[in-house]
Homo-oligomer: A and B are copies of this chain.
Amino acid sequence: MSETSKKVVLAYSGGLDTSCILLWLKEKGYQVIAYMANIGQEEDFNVAREKALKIGAVKVIIEDLREVFLSSFVWPAIACGLLYEGKYLLGTAIARPCISEALVRIAKSENASIIAHGATGKGNDQVRFELSCYSLFPDVQILAPWREKEFYTRFSGRSDLLRYAQQNRIPISATPKEPWSTDANLLHISYESGILENPATLAPKQIYKMTNDPLNSPTEPEEIEVSFEQGYPSSVRKLRSNEIFLTPLKIIECLNEIGGIHGIGRIDIVENRFIGLKSRGVYESPGAKILYEAHQELETFILDREVSRVKSYLTNKMSDYVYNECDFVRNGILYSQKYVTGTVRLQLYKGTVSIFSRRSKASLYNERLVSMDIKGGFEPEDAGGFIRTQAYRLKEFNRFEKEATTLKFIE
């Protein structure tokens, strides 16, 4: 088989970039299998299928990965409390390995040794995509046209892609492209690049698709209860209607809707990309934000202080990692979740999640013991011994500093 008749599995989105890449790959002689995963983004998959076939894909595969995305990627991330640089809920980062698993599975079953994607050479997505592909399929060859000189010199901007599409009758969306790029799934929509790159200007109001502007969100707050079992979300209850939601898909859809109504989960940050550059990202993740806050509250309520400290170190490590150390760290974290079972009552209002109460059958919180009014098994004198014993180090340090002043130190 000649080089040019090789099979490629392309992560296809239906948009202008990957449509042009599909055609370009075909022109280069590749047999292109277009792969689309439904992880909750808004997309007419039938239209995309027709488009890919029309451009020349030898096969189009579309899979609904929403359930596996939630149960194998999102729920563990919630249980681990993942949060990147204190703000970003990792909506895209978590989705990439889910898609990579599928791409590798398809590549193996279709006997293809090449996987192609439309991510650019400066972003995080290329790293996440490729590291997870290499990890699962070490012999895979990755084709990233936006890093190929031949491709990026030919298509130096969007207008080149548009011209190429028109010349080759690739259908183009009637609505003009927005001046930023977007990634969407059940967990969030992200916006970056284009006019968003200026960190001194606000993201335009019309950018947001999942959430109301808190300035226009309802003036009546809404109460819900979120329950967890061993760190995994297990149910959501709306207090007003007493509706209850029990499956992962229902839970996230309910929280995205209700959170969106109340303007929850808009994030506008400058973050550090994996390759070291700083970039500006705008996100909306209403449901994920609610789950994150509720889980944090329940965990703090239940776990021992020192366990929390170590878990927090592991969580930060895992939020930074994208690959195999994850397995080791995740195991460490999830062990801490075995008691994180209980319910948190929350209020949603004008972009804010407020905690109303926490309940758990087992928590280290002990009202009787902590009460200032009741002794509850606590001997007040013991605290004096505790403090005086702690103070030996301090008194020693004081002595030490006095001794040390007779020596001359450069400060």
Contact = CB atoms under 8 A, between A and B. Distances in A.
Interface of A: 85-86, 120-123, 126-127, 130-131, 134-136, 138, 142, 144, 146-149, 152, 157-158, 181, 192-194, 197-202, 214-215, 219, 221, 230, 266, 268-273, 275-280, 296-297, 300-301, 304-314, 316-317, 320-321, 323-325, 328-329, 331-332, 335-336, 338-339, 341, 349-352, 354-359, 361-367, 369-373, 378-401, 403-404, 406-407, 409-411
Contacts of A120: 372, 380
B317 A366 contact: no
Given A361-B407, A384-B144, A372 B122 contact: yes
Given A339-B409, A365-B278, A296 B86 contact: yes
B271 A367 contact: no
23 contacts: A86-B296, A121-B382, A121-B383, A130-B387, A130-B388, A131-B391, A138-B395, A144-B384, A147-B383, A148-B381, A194-B373, A214-B352, A277-B392, A277-B393, A310-B314, A332-B335, A338-B411, A339-B400, A364-B397, A366-B399, A378-B392, A382-B385, A383-B385
Contact of A386 (B149, B268, B338, B385): B385
A131 B380 CA distance: 17
A124 to B, nearest CB: 11
A197 B370 contact: yes
Given A200-B357, A310-B325, A352-B350, A390 B386 contact: yes
Contacts of A197: 367, 370-371
Contact of A378 (B121, B131, B149, B383): B121
A332 B335 CA distance: 8
